[in-house]
């Protein structure tokens, strides 16, 4: 499933020869919301002036009596917006400049069927009732939009970009322009996803949420000063030199649900190729040494995703490395354009450039091609994407050393980092939750970390071959659609041939934890000649009188003439400390090197294993191959009766915890 990218030059040429827009032959999406936008950047005022033609189709059987739009930039308008209240003016460790940092968007005109709609505007707050929030606009209509009707709305708007604070904005001459235009919400009819009746799915802009929109075709013309270098979603199909020192660039992209662009006169452009994909890297002076790391990891991600899930259906990938002190524009994803982040002289053993590039590229699949609702089920994007990242990092960087950190002898894997994030707060909430409703904190833990560990645990349970089939089927079935958690679970059950609802009910929808441990190990010598009275002591023929050194008398069985080796009764008790039940493997080791593997369904509170042997049990370990990444306490997984180096694992975990917190401070994932 791939766009006919090899024809892109022919299509562009046909545009110039015949005056037609380049159209691919077969749409991959319903193309419900289509935008033709012209926007001009004014660097002096930090404003963008735009006009757009929105062609929107009512794809339902409902008569729709209003329209709803996202006005995301109003999240940065004042301290009373929902975003600012939730964030307290801070995002990813950075504080908003409250003198010069504010941003906003204002619609100057909105016309439908020759009727100006501006007088009907009303801001609504469907999530929290905050009357001061202006990120969702509702427009009541005189005449409803009929089923399957296509309407055209002409909109003029002006926006002031905030100083870079949360994903979008400016810093000096650098501009990262995301969530920047009036964007129509998603209308869901009854039975679609979770809708009980026809409704708009148009959430406010929150601190811990991202985006959800319908697919369409975007044609965007961007006018900037002549010396600016521009990167954007899609393919550059035209460039014209205007008067007064400006130029206009037109970008085109089909079957996407968003559009972003960046501009900076200081960009250094590096281009590369992966199969049908043109890779463009926009770097800043002083960080050229990091370019190959980003491009190399992007190619690795393209390889893995193509093999595991399906083809990348676009012909371009633009990677943006934000300028110094604009770091918070990094670590974000848009269709065919991602932002990353690197540092001057960053050692190769600290793989932040690699993990960030791989992670942000992956969003082009789980947020882009599979249109997950990140407001309501963030894990379907962030969690599945983090799982993909962990597998790639382990496969390509983790064989000989730590996949995330390999520095001065310290080796830490990316998976261990996510485990550290989750176990810090394992019972605070369930994965399945609206992204802004993790009221006790833990958005990262329950949207990224725990879902990724859930997916890894499922991968190990089903086996990689089956899991690969599951993921490819999910991608094939829901590309350019809006799936739910239930759609994913049904795909797992269908492809695996198992009913795994018991697993998801506990781990996805529940808050209990998984924790199995080795409770105890004991070995008792079995006497060769047991002492005592056996049989009827009145029957003298059965016993003989024996005199010990102290002249006291006792009764004993008649000795056997054969010599027997010492035997032991070994007992190992495995316990379930958490409420989540899951099948576990147990490795039992004896002092002569013998190993016994046991499989326990994990249902009871504990299980006892007994072994009669000439050798003592010296150790036992639950999940020795570390397949169950949901286990919240690896320190109790093993027990030994001999001192060995494994005890130092306790201190490694402490290091992992502190390094995890340190890296999360710098991490810029979107």
Q: Which domains does the chain have, with CATH numbers?
A: 32-214 (2.60.40), 387-513 (no CATH), 515-529+565-627+633-644 (2.60.40)
The three-class DSSP label of residue 35 is: strand
Q: How far is CA 643 from the centre of its chain?
A: 40
Distance (Å, whole) CA 312 – CA 418: 27
Query: 231: closest CA among 267, 256, 258?
Result: 267
- pLDDT at site 648: 43
The three state secondary structure string of 61-121 is: CCCEEEEEEECHHHHHCCCCCHHHHHHCCEECCEECCCCCCCCEEEEEEEEECCEECHHHC
Which H or E run contains 501?
helix 501-507
pLDDT along the chain (670 residues), means of 10: 33 35 72 98 97 98 98 97 94 81 97 97 98 98 98 98 92 96 98 96 95 97 98 98 92 98 97 98 89 96 98 97 89 96 83 96 97 97 98 94 90 95 95 96 96 98 98 98 98 98 98 98 89 76 49 45 80 98 98 97 98 97 97 96 54 47 43
Pairing of β 104-112 and β 122-123: unpaired
Query: DSSP string of 217-279?
Result: EEEEEEEEETT-EEEESSEEEEEEE-STTEEEEEEEEEEES---EEEETTPEEEEEEETTEEE
Q: Cα dihedral sign for 289, 293, 298, 303?
A: positive
Pairing of β 617-622 and β 584-590: antiparallel
The three-class DSSP label of residue 643 is: coil
- pLDDT at site 639: 96
Are the beta carbons of 449 and 422 closer than 8 angstroms? yes
Cβ partners under 8 Å of residue 158, min gap 6 = 47, 48, 49, 50, 105, 106, 108
Q: What is the DSSP letter of 161?
A: P
Are the beta carbons of 346 and 360 closer than 8 angstroms? no
**Which stretches of 409-484 are DSSP H helices?**
414-423, 443-444, 450-462, 464-478
Distance (Å, whole) CA 261 – CA 176: 6
Distance (Å, whole) CA 330 – CA 164: 10
The three state secondary structure string of 450-465 is: HHHHHHHHHHHHHCHH
Are the beta carbons of 166 and 155 closer than 8 angstroms? no
Report the first-to-last Cα separation within the chain, whole angstroms.
26
């Amino acid at each position: 499933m791939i766009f006919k990218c090899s024809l892109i030059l022919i299509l562009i040429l046909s545009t110039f020869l015949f005056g037609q827009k380049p159209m691919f032959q077969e749409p991959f999406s319903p193309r419900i919301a289509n935008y033709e936008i012209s926007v001009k950047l004014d660097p002096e005022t930090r404003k963008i002036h735009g006009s757009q033609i929105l062609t929107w189709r009512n794809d339902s059987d409902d008569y729709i009596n209003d329209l709803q739009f996202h006005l995301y930039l109003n999240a940065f308008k004042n301290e009373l917006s929902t975003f600012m209240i939730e964030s307290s003016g801070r995002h990813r460790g950075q504080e908003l400049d409250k003198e010069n940092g504010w941003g906003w968007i204002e619609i100057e005109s909105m016309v439908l069927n020759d009727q100006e709609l501006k007088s009907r505007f009303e801001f609504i707050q469907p999530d929290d009732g905050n009357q001061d929030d202006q990120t969702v606009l509702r427009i009541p209509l005189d005449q409803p939009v009929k089923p399957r009707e296509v309407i055209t709305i002409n909109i003029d708007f002006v926006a002031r970009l905030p100083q870079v604070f949360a994903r979008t904005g400016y810093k000096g001459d650098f501009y990262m322009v995301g969530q920047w235009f009036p964007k129509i919400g998603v209308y869901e009819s009854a039975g679609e996803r979770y809708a009980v009746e026809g409704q708009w799915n148009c959430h406010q802009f929150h601190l811990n949420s991202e985006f959800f929109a319908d697919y369409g075709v975007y044609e965007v013309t961007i006018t900037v000063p002549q010396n600016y270098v521009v990167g954007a979603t899609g393919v550059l199909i035209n460039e014209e030199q205007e008067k007064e020192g400006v130029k206009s660039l037109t970008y085109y992209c089909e079957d996407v649900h968003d559009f972003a662009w960046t501009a900076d006169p200081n960009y250094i452009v590096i281009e590369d190729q992966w199969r049908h994909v043109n890779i463009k890297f926009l770097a800043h002076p002083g960080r050229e040494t990091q370019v190959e790391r980003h491009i190399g990891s992007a190619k690795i991600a393209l390889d893995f995703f193509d093999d595991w899930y399906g083809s990348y259906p676009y012909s371009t990938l633009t990677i943006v490395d934000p300028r110094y002190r604009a770091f918070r524009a990094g670590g974000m994803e848009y269709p065919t354009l991602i932002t990353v982040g690197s540092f001057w002289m960053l050692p190769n053993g600290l793989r932040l450039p690699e993990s960030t590039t791989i992670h942000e590229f992956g969003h082009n699949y789980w947020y882009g091609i599979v249109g997950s609702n990140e407001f309501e089920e963030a894990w379907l994007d962030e969690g599945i994407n983090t799982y993909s990242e962990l597998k790639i990092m382990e496969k390509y960087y983790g064989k000989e050393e730590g996949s995330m950190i390999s520095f001065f002898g310290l080796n830490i894997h990316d998976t261990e980092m996510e485990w550290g994030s989750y176990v810090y707060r394992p019972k605070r909430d369930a994965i399945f939750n609206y992204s802004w409703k993790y009221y006790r904190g833990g958005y990262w833990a329950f949207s990224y970390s725990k879902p990724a560990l859930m997916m890894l645990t499922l991968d190990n349970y089903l086996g990689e071959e089956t899991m690969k089939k599951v993921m490819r089927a999910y991608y094939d079935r829901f590309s350019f659609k809006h799936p739910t958690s239930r759609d994913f679970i049904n795909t797992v059950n269908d492809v695996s041939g198992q009913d795994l609802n018991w697993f998801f009910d506990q781990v996805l929808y529940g808050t209990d934890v998984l924790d199995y441990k080795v409770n105890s190990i004991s070995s008792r010598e079995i006497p060769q000649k047991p002492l005592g009275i056996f049989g009827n002591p009145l029957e003298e023929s059965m016993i003989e009188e024996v005199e010990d050194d102290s002249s006291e008398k006792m009764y004993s069985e008649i000795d056997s003439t054969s010599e027997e080796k010492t035997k032991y009764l070994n007992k190992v008790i495995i316990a379930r400390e958490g409420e989540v039940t899951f099948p576990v493997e147990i490795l039992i080791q004896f002092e002569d090197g013998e190993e016994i593997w046991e499989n326990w369904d994990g249902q009871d509170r504990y299980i006892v294993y007994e072994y009669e042997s000439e050798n003592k049990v010296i150790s036992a370990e639950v999940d020795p191959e570390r397949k169950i990444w949901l286990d919240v306490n690896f320190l109790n997984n093993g027990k030994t009766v001999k001192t060995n180096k494994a005890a130092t694992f306790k201190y490694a975990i402490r290091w992992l915890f502190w390094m995890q917190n340190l890296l999360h401070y710098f991490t810029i994932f979107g």
